[in-house]
Amino acid sequence: MISTTMSLAQAMVRESPDAVDIFRIRRVAPKRPSFDSIAQVEKALAAAPPGDPSVAGQARWLIDHIVERYHRTHLAEFPEAIRLARLVESVHEADADCPRGLADHLAFMADDLECHQRREEVALFPMLLKGGGPVADFPIRRMMAEHLDVQDQLTTLAAITRDFSAPEGACETWRQLCRACRKLHHELGDHMRLENDVLFPYFL
């Protein structure tokens, strides 16, 4: 289990020297290209043909944004959701509405996602930062296939939590758990949409 950004960075570089590119960008160019918003970057990439060098800066910015805004956030938020789920499952075991199996499902999702994100950060993203090309096709398609698995996991998450709704009169912990699961569901969806529909098509 990766516990800090620094240990993740060290692990990534140890596993693949190419991963150092992700960190080199910040050291060599601390003033990364500034764009007004993610919407502006999305629009520019969507309007350009794949590989268009005029929007290469936007593609690099998007990789950075995905890692910072989504990869880091998901990994930081899963442990709390798992803790809340274990608490609710143990306190409300006898309740018919108890989200049984939720903590284990969240733990499975977190492990699976950590592996997936790690493969993106260690192998695929450094490749894309160097311009991608035919060598990136297979890993991109592999990541897109894994996103389908995550989508299935999200469907199960919604089912176990009854669409993220706590029953009437539920305690604050249970409500908090539903909010945490709803946020994970929403943000994982955004994250995968950015990769599937905006980032990856630019490199295919």
Smallest gap from residue 71 Cβ to Fe ion (A): 6
Residues in Cβ contact with 202 at an 8 Å cutoff, skipping those fewer than 6 apart: 45, 48, 50, 51, 52, 55, 59
Nearest approach in angstroms of CB 57 to Fe ion is 20
Q: Least distance from C-beta 59 to Fe ion, angstroms? A: 14
Measured from the CB atom, the residue of 80 and 190 that comes closer to Fe ion is 190
What residues from 56 to 115 belong to the interface with Fe ion (CB under 5 A)?
Answer: none
Compare residues 177 and 199 and give the one whose CB is closer to Fe ion. 199
Residues 6+ positions from 57 with CB-CB distance below 8 Å: 33
What is the distance between the alpha carbons of residues 190 and 186, in angstroms, rounded to a whole number?
6
202, two tokens = 């630019």
Query: What residues between 114 and 173 interact with Fe ion by CB under 5 A?
Result: 120, 143
CB nearer to Fe ion: pick between 21 and 120: 120
Cα separation, 150 vs 114, in Å, equals 12
Least distance in Å: CB of 89 to Fe ion? 29
Q: Between 71 and 92, whose beta carbon lies closer to Fe ion?
A: 71
Closest residue by Cα to residue 199 from 135, 114, 124, 149: 124
Residues at the contact surface with Fe ion, assessed by CB under 5 A: 120, 143, 195
